[in-house]
Amino acid sequence: MLTACQVGRSQLRAYSHRFSPQKFTQPQLFACLVLKEFLQLDYRKLAALLADTPSLAAAIKLDVIPHYTTFPKAAQRLLVATRARRLLDETVDRAAQAKLMKRRVKLAAIDGTGFERWHVSTYYAKRCEKTVKNQERKRRRFPKAGIACDCASHFILAVIPGVGPGPDDKHYRPALKQTAGSVSVETLLADAGYDGEPAHEHARQTYGMRTIIPPTRGRPTDKLPTGRWRRRMATHFNQLKYGQRWQIETVNSMLKRLLGSALRARKHWTKHREITQRAITHNLMILRMKVFYRAKLADFHVGTLTFLHYYKFCVSLGGISARFARNSWIIIVLRARAGAGTNRWQSPSQGRELCSGIDQTGLGCGILSLGASVGRL
């Protein structure tokens, strides 16, 4: 909440009007909206949580707990397109200042992703389609967003809310415009859904971005494409760089796993605001967890034993996955720093004893939950 409040202070005025009640500031309300998305709450539960946990309100110096109807009004005012874009750009600027990413992004990727609707379940929609009355009114439309991200840091550079199903071309140009407003991109990666000569020309001539898009859109044929850039993609396609396009799929997965795959909003524009709020919350989560994102596995040391030695030791035991090895290593480091275990390992046998000590103390039961809490290392 502190990071969200700081971002809000840099882009939002303290009060919407000089004659407002001035019980709470706009950055404080923005921080509360970020907390709502982070914990996947509705507005009533958010107000109840702030009332039951005074420490959260004290962290952002919130003296008066807002009524739950204040939050949707604040979201309607604070998350309009222009302000939401400035808030998203502010998270990117802070990431560049913290050296989590560079101002000149070497590889960026763009893709579209869909969301579920919270208030209508899939089972209910299918049962409604089976009735005679609703056979011609199938629920096929769903919220959709076009997202551009930095492949190296997973920061979202642009988000364009919309409605699906439909082609991804309609959010291509707005996403590039929003991305170019915050950073400069050397190479843009996209799947075949964006294939087309106008897409290459717009990115290269307007923003100076090199594009890598597979020229496979349309009917299969053995002939080369007629356009200049599509023909170049067919003859000089950089498969190595294009493999990093999967980082945008990772970002889509992070959004849905950590913040939910369904939207709680019911109206059209409130859905758009909720999608934008989730993108901002995603960037704030990475910005807040920068210690875990910047750490390398080989940088964790306990005495003379590094993580690589410990990983080889786990593999030699058999039946231990790499994920378990990483998470159990975090437990070992935390225990060593807290004084619960030795910090001088001279042989694998001492490592075995410490690993058995973890299971004996019951810490092994929380290994997976700890890995999720520190950002799924």
**Per-residue model confidence as pLDDT tens digits over 310-332:** 555 665 655 555 666 666 666 66
Which residue carries 């950002």 as its tokens? 375
Interval 8-64: pLDDT, tens: 899 999 998 888 888 999 999 999 999 999 998 999 999 999 999 888 889 899 999
How far is residue 205's CA from residue 75's CA, in Å, rounded to a whole number?
Answer: 37
How far is residue 75's CA from residue 29's CA, in Å, rounded to a whole number?
Answer: 8
Question: Which backbone phi and psi does 109 adopt, to 5 degrees?
Answer: -130, 150
* pLDDT at 31 (0 to 100): 93
* pLDDT at 306 (0 to 100): 53
**Averaged pLDDT for residues 142-164:** 93
* pLDDT at 329 (0 to 100): 60
- The arrangement of secondary structure in 81-291, i.e. its CATH architecture, is 2-Layer Sandwich (3.30)
Lowest-confidence pick of 79-93, 115-129, 318-332:
318-332
The ranges assigned to domains in the chain are 2-78, 81-291, 297-373
How far is residue 279's CA from residue 92's CA, in Å, rounded to a whole number?
Answer: 11
Instruction: Between 117 and 30, name the one with better pLDDT.
Output: 30
* pLDDT at 324 (0 to 100): 65
* pLDDT at 331 (0 to 100): 60
How far is residue 72's CA from residue 43's CA, in Å, rounded to a whole number?
Answer: 7
Nearest residue to 190 (alpha-carbon basis) of 200, 198, 180: 200
Residues 6 or more apart whose CB falls under 8 angstroms from that of 242 comprise 189, 212, 214
* pLDDT at 50 (0 to 100): 92
* pLDDT at 320 (0 to 100): 57
* pLDDT at 370 (0 to 100): 34
* pLDDT at 366 (0 to 100): 36
Q: Is pLDDT above 70 for 136?
A: no
Q: Per residue in 166-185, is it b (16+ CB within 10 Å) or e — as a string? A: eebeebbbebbebbbebbeb
Please answer whether residues 358 and 314 qualify as being in contact, where contact means their C-beta atoms are separated by less than 8 angstroms.
no
Strand-by-strand arrangement of the 210-212 sheet: 156-164, 142-150, 104-114, 184-189, 210-212
Amino acid at 255: L
Nearest residue to 289 (alpha-carbon basis) of 324, 263, 322, 258: 258
**Averaged pLDDT for residues 165-192:** 93
Q: How confident is the model at residue 68 (pLDDT cuts 50, 70, 90)?
A: very high
How far is residue 217's CA from residue 157's CA, in Å, rounded to a whole number?
Answer: 26
Which residue carries 């058999």 as its tokens? 318
Tell me whether strands 142-150 and 104-114 are parallel, antiparallel or unpaired: antiparallel
* pLDDT at 311 (0 to 100): 58
Interval 225-256: pLDDT, tens: 888 999 999 999 999 999 999 999 999 999 99
* pLDDT at 117 (0 to 100): 77
* pLDDT at 308 (0 to 100): 57
Q: Average per-residue pLDDT in the chain?
A: 80
* pLDDT at 290 (0 to 100): 58
Q: Per residue in 131-146, is it b (16+ CB within 10 Å) or e — as a string? A: eeeeeeeeeeebbbbb
Residue 17 DSSP symbol: S
